[in-house]
Amino acid sequence: MGVTRVLREARRFAAGRAGAGIVGVSGGADSVALLRALRSADVTLVVAHVNHRLRGAESDGDEAFVRELCAGLGLECRVLSADVAALAAGDNLESTARRVRYEFFARVAGAVGAGWVATAHTADDQAETVLHRLIRGTGIQGLRGIAAERPNDAFPGVKDGGRPLVRPLLAVTRADVVTYLNELGQPFRTDSSNADPKFTRNRVRHELLPLLRTFNPEIVGALAHLAEHANEAHDIVIAAAADLLSRAERPPAAGTLILDAATLRSASPGLARAALRLVWEREGWPVSDMTFAAWERAVSVAGGSASACDFPGGVRMRGAGKVVQLTRRA
């Protein structure tokens, strides 16, 4: 069953994807399975591996394993060794590592002329992501979880020329992956940091999901379906929000964005919030720094119940008679 599902997803992906691609391979089970499956599907591949230098000899062992695996498969392997801890310099280590990976994947794709970048996220990753976001507090946007395909340059700091980031195994469970590798007799590496309980995601994986399986053995599939439905609902909301924004927006003046107040107030608070989020995203303002409370304050200004408010990144929003003005300090 594992072989069938993993290969079926890889072949379905390969059938609709032209040209060569980059596969991010850490050496773990998921990425090794993706590599072997896409290789079996006769996809032209270049492997990209990042040694984050966070686990000493273990990280070096991962790199050596991936190099040897690629040599055995006759595939080109490009490696980046990066001192992620130093690069983080007090910032979030996980987000810094993610940025370094996707920047490297983009550079490799550009260097070899690849048309897409693939990572090995599975249905289990999807379930963990949805739960993690629920714990932290999220809306419908966060419930969408991991996208099956998205622009790689949607990540901060990544410039990728429009090459999509794809997840061919997003419908495959981790159990399917392990079964597939066992039947191939293919070894893989295990990242010891994945068992460290100081990371919330690890506790979600090793404590919360097993508990939820006692309530619903198919909890991974249930959460994956929730993400799919949230994505569909989100698309509907975004289309309506884009229409609202197009009707509300007026020509800017001296660097100030101007929105018609009456048009914003004619919409529901949720739709107005979605339209304002589109403004933040389009202008490149710090969306990730906007909390739920901050968005509520923005809706209050748009709705006329507050006169002005300052937001992260130097963004200021204020009501001025018949219009709402948005500016950002340089």
DSSP string, 156-183: TT---TTPEEE-TTTTS-HHHHHHHHHH
Radius of gyration of the chain (CA): 22
Binding residues for ATP: 26-31
Burial class (CB in 10 A: 0-12, 13-18, 19+), 18: exposed
CA distances from 219 to 126, 136, 279, 317 (A): 11, 19, 36, 42
Bridge partner residues of 51 (DSSP):
81
Q: DSSP class of residue 272?
A: H
**Whole-number Å distance between alpha carbons of 250 and 258:** 5
**Whole-number Å distance between alpha carbons of 113 and 92:** 32
Contact (CB, 8 A) for 158 and 101: no
Which has the closest alpha carbon to 264: 223, 225, 299? 299
Please measure the distance between the N-terminal and C-terminal CA atoms of the chain and give it in whole angstroms.
Answer: 57
**Whole-number Å distance between alpha carbons of 19 and 112:** 11
**Whole-number Å distance between alpha carbons of 35 and 313:** 41
Binding residues: 26-31
Q: DSSP class of residue 143?
A: H
